[in-house]
Chain A
């Protein structure tokens, strides 16, 4: 897949990034650690994640709440939340282009996860590891497609969002997997393998984007 990453395009937040692959584009921002907006968001031992996702059109609905929930399940695995007790880390996401039918969120979730990861790096918040998300679909013929297009998704039997952590330039742990539709056990394992090699391949682009941003921030070092 061809990936376009824009590093730190936003001014008022601590870290931001846009992630575009195919017809899907998402912009994410991270601010924090900041003071909790209300007392009930102050957790005594760790930071509170305030996640806010907005759709490309229309008002946020239960669909976005579920996406926020999924992101909230994934992120504690990579953020060192316990380093920021009582603080809030605010994550705001704006979906710019869906790139898939309305009843699907796979491509958007991939773009959300990847853009939030880069935004987190830019914000300087302490992370445990690197990660990357990708999506796959299984067609009616049982064929696996990585980063399926909108029409491939629509005609698929099942589709998956897979997130792996990356350590020492290698695929490490399966951090998140969200599968919808019906599939066999073996098919899922094939999907995980395909996703892993896809991630290993594409993470180079993200790494490069991060590296060039770092050197940009230190122009005087050159």
Chain B
């Protein structure tokens, strides 16, 4: 794998389906990395995948990511959840919990930790979180986290840990101790 920086153009094969991953920008069939990192290109059948594996500190929400956030307040019928210090908070609706209804709403306080899934991301809107498994509608392990400690790690390491279940450190990050 080679290390690329912005400006290192490479040509995408035409005629085949190419799935573009993070940190790439294209004009026509020319792709340009938007940050420095490892260029990953893999071929699976007729389609190929290209992305730049880059490390950074600030978490940028992406749909279907599993995240741990801190409740920083509530607004209308939803909580505001901080995913990274000083970032725009994400929104977690009161009804985005399993079996939630007008009468049975979750009781979370400011400062509580929640484990959630990123439901939708649009740069022009607030990020939305959900605390249930999208396929089953059940709890799926999401919700309020009690006890333990929150460790901040660099994003590349977090991804590494998520992909390698046998990693020599606690399983999930941010994780419970």
Chain A–chain B contact at Cβ < 8 A? yes
Cα(A76)–Cα(B150), bound, Å: 36
Stretch at the interface among B41-49, B54-62, B94-102: B54-62
On whether the beta carbons of B7 and A165 are closer than 8 Å, the reply is yes
How far is B59's CA from A34's CA once the two chains are assembled, in angstroms?
Answer: 10
B3 touches A167 (CB 8 A): no
Beta-carbon nearest neighbor of A206 in chain B: B5
Chain A nearest CB from B27 CB (Å) reads 11
* Dominant SS among interface residues on chain B: loop
Contact digits for B11-36, partner A, Cβ 8 Å, 1 yes 0 no: 00000000000010100000010111
Within 8 Å of chain B (Cβ to Cβ): is A115? no
- Which residues of chain A are near B160, meaning CB under 8 Å? 218, 220
Interface residues on A, range: 35 or more
Q: State how many angstroms separate the Cβ of A150 from the closest Cβ of chain B.
A: 31
B139 within 8 Å of A (CB atoms)? no
Binds B, one of A101-109, A118-126, A183-191: A118-126
Question: Which A residues lie within 8 Å of B109 (CB)?
Answer: none
Cβ of A128 within 8 Å of any chain B Cβ, yes or no, is yes
- A interface footprint on B143-161 (CB within 8 Å = 1, 0 otherwise): 0000000000011100010
Give the residues in chain B near A121, CB-CB below 8 Å. 5-6, 35-36
Residues of A41-98 contacting chain B, CB below 8 A: 78, 80, 83-87
Q: Would A127 and B34 count as touching, CB distance under 8 A?
A: yes
For A218, the chain B residues whose CB sits under 8 A away are 38, 53, 55, 156, 160
Complex Cα distance A211/B154, Å? Answer: 17
Task: Provide the residues of chain A in CB contact with B53, threshold 8 Å.
Answer: 218
Give the A-B pair count, Cβ closer than 8 A: 101
List residues of chain B with CB within 8 A of the CB of A80.
Answer: 25, 34
* Given the contacts A124-B35, A126-B34, A87 and B56 also touching, CB distance less than 8 Å: no
Nearest CB of B to A67, in Å: 24
Contact A214 B37 (CB under 8 A): yes
B58 and A167 form a contact (CB under 8 A): no
Assess whether A124 is in contact with B54, with CB atoms less than 8 Å apart: yes
Q: Mark B132-150, 1 if CB is under 8 A from A, else 0.
A: 0000000000000000000
Contact call A214/B55, Cβ cutoff below 8 A: yes
In the bound complex, how far is the Cα of B54 from the Cα of A125, in angstroms? 11
Q: Does B76 count as interface, using CB distance less than 8 angstroms?
A: no
Alpha-carbon gap, A84 to B121, bound state (A): 12
Check A127 against B35 for contact (C-beta < 8 Å): yes
List residues of B (61-80) whose CB comes within 8 Å of A's CBs. none
B174 to chain A, nearest CB (A): 17
> Which 3 A/B pairs are nearest by Cβ-Cβ distance?
A124-B56, A217-B55, A126-B34
Complex A-B: 18 CB contacts under 8 Å: A14-B56, A14-B57, A34-B86, A35-B87, A35-B89, A86-B124, A121-B5, A121-B36, A128-B6, A128-B25, A128-B34, A129-B6, A168-B7, A168-B8, A211-B36, A214-B38, A214-B54, A218-B53
7 more CB-based (< 8 A) A-B contacts, given A34-B86, A128-B6: A14-B58, A34-B87, A35-B89, A80-B34, A129-B7, A130-B5, A168-B8
